[in-house]
Amino acid sequence: MSVVVNNIEDNHDEHHHKETFITKWIFSQDHKMIAKQYFITGVFVMGIIGVLMSLLFRIQLAWPEESFTVFEIFLGDKWAPDGVMDPNIYLALVTIHGTIMVFFVLTAGLSGTFSNLLIPLQIGARDMASGFLNMIAFWLFFVSSAIMLASLFVEAGPAAAGWTIYPPLSALPQTQPGSGLGMTLWLVSMAFFIASSLLGSLNYIVTVLNLRTKGMTFFRLPLTIWAFFITAIIGVISFPVLLSAALLLIMDRSFGTSFFLSDIFVQGEVLHYQGGSPVLFEHLFWFLGHPEVYIVLLPALGITSEIIATHSRKPIFGYRAMVASILAIAFLSTIVWGHHMFITGMNPFLGSVFTFTTLLIAIPSAVKAFNYIATLWKGNLQLNPAMLFSIGLVSTFITGGLTGIILGDSALDINVHDTYFVVAHFHLVMGISALYGLFAGAYHWFPRLYGRMMNKSLGYIHFWITAIGAYGIFFPMHFVGMAGLPRRYYTNTAFPYFDDLADINVLITVFALITGLAQLVFLFNFFHSMYYGKKSEKNPWKSNTLEWTAPVEHMHGNWPGKIPHVFRWAYDYSKPGKKEDFVPQSVPIAKGEKITEH
């Protein structure tokens, strides 16, 4: 059933094998089916669990050490005796929430879905370069998810050392129960995840490089493809470093090496470790960890660029500047990791260097934000739910990104490092923004995924509750941080000094609960529309990109007959002299028509 086709000769592979239930629905090699599989696993399985965890620990933070039936239901007698949450499980929830949201939802769920769906369809390819590897990548991700979920049920509890799993806490089971089997499973799960991510990324890169249809030059690529392509490259560069860090950590944990450990005394005993350094682990971790932020964010920005242009009925403003800023962000993202480590005992001179590189990132980010705003200017905005989420993304990207100027400045980082100020910052700039990108993509490309439309009224409700909730949760949280409250505290009651923060915490939790519940609207809309939604037209948003020239019904090879050729860039919206306000990329340049300079 291989659909690998020689695009240059534009043949359609005719020898379809007979499809069985298994090859169609489970071990499918079709990129559209794999995209759906990523979305369902990443967003609806892992996403729901990740969000639910955050609601549980938000309840604990608002009403500390009180008894709740929901704790008993979800955590059981062991972790919530009499309905009161245990401090160890609190840390585990925080840890697994972070891990799931960053890796499983916003890396696999977002990139996995939309890179798979859009790369072949938007560049005019019959499928990914290797459908088989693509299938393997998904199933490695599936195994990784299953192991991560299994780790929730081990006797001593899941990993609880924070999603950054800094040793020695993550290396020594004597220091916390979660660092036993739970941490082992965490590491194994991440090893599978990294393998999956690498296979996926290599596939994306090769596909974009080799399988573009005739006429699809690099500067005619939609910005989505640019974003996915560069994201894949960052992934290939940085994920292996995390794998090596994980392997070294496994060595320290199980084989007595001392890469990250030295001079340790636990439970009355001097351990044998000599000469290692936890700071080394931090370097290795953040060499992935920071690019990871952009692995999460860039696809969302790519999706937004595409949606804002389409729904503004106007070319994206400054296409080349947008591409250049993606490249600049990608390059800089690999040399800023030290801003997570200003106060780890790293040489202060390095702090200055990383401050410099970090604040530089604000420049391409600002260019992006301004270009989005300029695209809206004098547009004809079609405010579909996808468009609202895209505008929402720009809003939270600005709000969250600006506080990065404070955190990226080594001097200012001193007093807000590891406080709620950081939590508020990164949730807005990468968490909420990337989630908005994911939702925007879902509303926009749902017709392409399932051939039906999602309900717009429910989409509007989903957006407005989420938008109000996002600011309601994270804006006040900055103040909690500036008041000096460190993050990852099970309760703030141990310090009477923080007693007057209790009200803010209740407010934040109430917003979080409402926003969390509002996601059920999306869940309902998604599955309901899948079966009962209105049948979609071929090109419901009047978009220029190639995916809308393919038939609504999915088929192997994407297009019956020849693959469309490309004659223009993707953003000829409202071009003067044209009858319609859009000109698809596959429409040849008319006589006397000027090619748009961009």
Partner 1 sequence: MTIIFSIITVVLLSISVWQIAKIFEVSNLGKKKDDSQVANHKDNDLQGKLMFAFLVFIYLVTIFSFVSYTKVLLPESASEHGVTYDSLFFISFALIMFVQIITQALLHYFSYKYRGLKNTKATFITHNNRLEFIWTIIPAIVLFGLILYGMTTWSQIMNFEEDEDALVIELYAQQWNWKARYAGNDNVLGDANVRFLNDYDGRNTVGIDSSDPNGLDDIVVTQEFHLPVNRKVIFKFRSQDVLHSAYMPHFRAQMNCVPGMITQFSFTPTVTSEEMRQNADVVDKVTRINKIRYDKSQELIAKGEESLEPYQFDYLLLCAKICGASHYNMQMKIVVESEKDFNKWIDKQKTFSEIIQ
Q: Helix, strand or coil for residue 488?
A: coil
The verdict on 484 binding partner 1 (CB under 8 A) reads yes
Q: Which is nearer to partner 1, 122 or 399 (CB)?
A: 399
Strand-pairing partners, residue 452, are 535
Query: What residues from 290 to 319 belong to the interface with partner 1 (CB under 8 A)?
Result: 312-315, 317-319
Q: How far apart are CA 185 and CA 176, in angstroms?
A: 15
- Owner of token pair 């030059």: 217
Q: Which is nearer to partner 1, 207 or 371 (CB)?
A: 371
- CB burial of 95-122 (b: ≥16 within 10 Å; e: otherwise) equals bbbbbbbbbbbbbbbbbbbbbbbbbbbb
The residue from 236, 237, 331, 409 that contacts partner 1 (CB under 8 A) is: 409
Q: Which is nearer to partner 1, 541 or 559 (CB)?
A: 541
Counting every residue written for the chain, the total comes to 598
The verdict on 363 binding partner 1 (CB under 8 A) reads yes
Selection from 445, 478, 438 nearest residue 462 by Cα = 438
Least distance from C-beta 172 to partner 1, angstroms?
7
Q: Which is nearer to partner 1, 69 or 217 (CB)?
A: 69
The one-letter code for the residue type at 575 is K
Strand-pairing partners, residue 214, are none
Least distance from C-beta 121 to partner 1, angstroms?
20
The verdict on 217 binding partner 1 (CB under 8 A) reads no
The verdict on 509 binding partner 1 (CB under 8 A) reads no
Least distance from C-beta 595 to partner 1, angstroms?
11
Least distance from C-beta 19 to partner 1, angstroms?
30
The residue from 26, 517, 555, 589 that contacts partner 1 (CB under 8 A) is: 517
Least distance from C-beta 587 to partner 1, angstroms?
16
- H runs (alpha helix) in 25-171: 31-39, 48-62, 69-79, 87-99, 113-123, 131-150
Q: Which tokens sit at 278?
A: 């936890």
Least distance from C-beta 568 to partner 1, angstroms?
12
Q: Kind and range of the H or E element at 270?
A: strand 269-270
C-alpha count within 13 angstroms, C-beta hemisphere, residue 46: 32
The verdict on 527 binding partner 1 (CB under 8 A) reads no
The verdict on 472 binding partner 1 (CB under 8 A) reads yes
Write each residue from 317 to 336 as x if it is in contact with partner 1 (CB under 8 A), else as -, in one continuous string. xxxxx---------------
Q: Which stretch binds partner 1 (CB under 8 A): 49-57, 243-251, 398-406, 425-433?
A: 398-406
Q: How many other C-beta atoms are found inside a 10 Å radius of the C-beta of residue 361?
A: 24
116 Cβ partners below 8 Å, 6+ apart? 31, 32, 34, 35, 38, 128, 134, 200
Query: What residues from 369 to 388 belong to the interface with partner 1 (CB under 8 A)?
Result: 369-374, 376-384, 387-388
Least distance from C-beta 594 to partner 1, angstroms?
11
User: For residue 591, is it left (φ>0), alpha (ψ between -120 and 50) or beta?
Assistant: beta
The verdict on 534 binding partner 1 (CB under 8 A) reads yes
The verdict on 543 binding partner 1 (CB under 8 A) reads no
Q: Which is nearer to partner 1, 141 or 526 (CB)?
A: 526
Q: How far apart are CA 557 and CA 550, in angstroms?
A: 10
Selection from 466, 575, 557 nearest residue 520 by Cα = 466
The verdict on 506 binding partner 1 (CB under 8 A) reads no
Query: What residues from 8 to 37 belong to the interface with partner 1 (CB under 8 A)?
Result: none
Task: Output the DSSP codes for 123-157.
Answer: HT-SS-S-HHHHHHHHHHHHHHHHHHHHGGGSTT-
Selection from 224, 211, 110 nearest residue 570 by Cα = 224
The residue from 275, 531, 532, 553 that contacts partner 1 (CB under 8 A) is: 275
Q: Helix, strand or coil for residue 348?
A: helix
The verdict on 257 binding partner 1 (CB under 8 A) reads no
Q: Which tokens sit at 405?
A: 């100027």
Least distance from C-beta 205 to partner 1, angstroms?
28
Query: What residues from 39 to 78 belong to the interface with partner 1 (CB under 8 A)?
Result: 68-70, 73
Write each residue from 116 to 135 as x if it is in contact with partner 1 (CB under 8 A), else as -, in one continuous string. --------------------
The verdict on 522 binding partner 1 (CB under 8 A) reads no
Q: Which is nearer to partner 1, 3 or 454 (CB)?
A: 454
Q: How far apart are CA 159 and CA 53, in angstroms?
A: 14
Q: Which is nearer to partner 1, 133 or 458 (CB)?
A: 458
Query: Residue 501 carries which DSSP code?
Result: G
Least distance from C-beta 215 to partner 1, angstroms?
19
The residue from 244, 257, 277, 334 that contacts partner 1 (CB under 8 A) is: 277
Query: What residues from 72 to 101 belong to the interface with partner 1 (CB under 8 A)?
Result: 73, 87-88, 91
The residue from 15, 18, 77, 496 that contacts partner 1 (CB under 8 A) is: 496
Query: What residues from 176 to 195 belong to the interface with partner 1 (CB under 8 A)?
Result: 176
Residues 176/169, Cβ–Cβ less than 8 Å: yes
The residue from 48, 146, 327, 362 that contacts partner 1 (CB under 8 A) is: 362
Q: How far apart are CA 276 and CA 262, in angstroms?
A: 5
Query: What residues from 224 to 253 belong to the interface with partner 1 (CB under 8 A)?
Result: none
State in Å, rounded, how far the first CA of the chain is from the last one.
40
The residue from 108, 454, 550, 587 that contacts partner 1 (CB under 8 A) is: 454
The verdict on 278 binding partner 1 (CB under 8 A) reads yes
Q: Which tokens sit at 177?
A: 């129960």
**Dihedral angle computed from the Cα positions of residues 242, 403, 53 and 102, in that order, rounded to the nearest 10 degrees:** -30
Least distance from C-beta 80 to partner 1, angstroms?
13
Q: Which tokens sit at 281?
A: 């682990």
The verdict on 259 binding partner 1 (CB under 8 A) reads no
Query: What residues from 421 to 440 belong to the interface with partner 1 (CB under 8 A)?
Result: none
- 268 burial (CB, 10 Å; 0-12 / 13-18 / 19+) is exposed
